[in-house]
């Protein structure tokens, strides 16, 4: 066996071992889609219930028992009532801008929001990649939404269908 191939084989084994030994590492979200989803499962906002942000005021994990498929993503809910509310009004309960951080969109880039950094402004859910982005947005949402309005159409068009 050639030395280069043996080295590549060892590296692959090492990386596989690290991956299996560290299952708690976060799974990256796809940032090439119009809705941010887990690239391995297709689940939106890492399985958090989008309606719970409004009802409970916090991030609540949904379950596979209460799922819905919409906009090419799998959405999870904590109960049937939240699922029904979402399906009746997805434009209200779904994260704005497909779950991308509006502060980053205002800068001209698409970065997936983190389900733990959120804000509800004017009865709409926004997810943020960082706590600092959320705090800046909440302090002056009109300014950010003005910038997002100029940049989001072109950025959205660059994302996959």
> What is the Cα–Cα distance from 104 to 45, expressed in whole angstroms?
17
The predicted model scores a pTM of 0.80
> What is the Cα–Cα distance from 74 to 66, expressed in whole angstroms?
10
pLDDT above 60: residue 18 = no
Task: Pick the more confident residue, 29 or 65.
Answer: 65
CB-based contact 47:29 (threshold 8 Å): no
Cβ-based neighbour number of residue 64 at 10 Å: 10
- pLDDT, residue 27, reads 40
CA atoms within 13 A on the CB side of 91: 0
Q: What is the pLDDT of residues 48-102, one digit of tens each?
A: 999 999 999 999 999 999 999 999 999 999 999 999 999 999 999 999 999 999 9
- pLDDT, residue 159, reads 87
| pLDDT average, residue stretch 108-122 | 97
Q: What is the pLDDT of residues 37-51, one digit of tens each?
A: 999 999 999 999 999
- Percent of the residues in the chain that have a pLDDT greater than 70, as a whole number: 80
CB-based contact 147:102 (threshold 8 Å): no
């Amino acid at each position: 066996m050639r030395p280069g191939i043996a080295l590549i084989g060892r590296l692959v084994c090492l990386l596989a071992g690290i991956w299996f030994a560290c299952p708690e590492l976060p799974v990256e979200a796809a940032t090439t889609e119009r809705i941010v989803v887990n690239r391995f499962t297709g689940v939106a906002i890492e399985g958090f219930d989008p309606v719970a942000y409004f009802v409970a005021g916090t991030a609540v994990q949904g379950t596979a028992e209460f799922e819905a498929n919409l906009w090419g993503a799998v959405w999870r809910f904590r109960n049937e009532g939240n699922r029904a509310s979402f399906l009746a009004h997805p434009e209200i309960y779904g994260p704005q801008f497909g779950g991308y951080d509006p502060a980053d969109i205002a800068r001209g880039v698409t970065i997936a929001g983190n389900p733990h950094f959120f804000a509800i402004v004017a009865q709409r859910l926004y997810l943020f990649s960082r706590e600092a982005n959320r705090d800046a947005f909440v302090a002056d949402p009109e300014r950010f939404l003005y910038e997002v309005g100029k940049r989001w159409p072109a950025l959205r068009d660059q994302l996959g269908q």
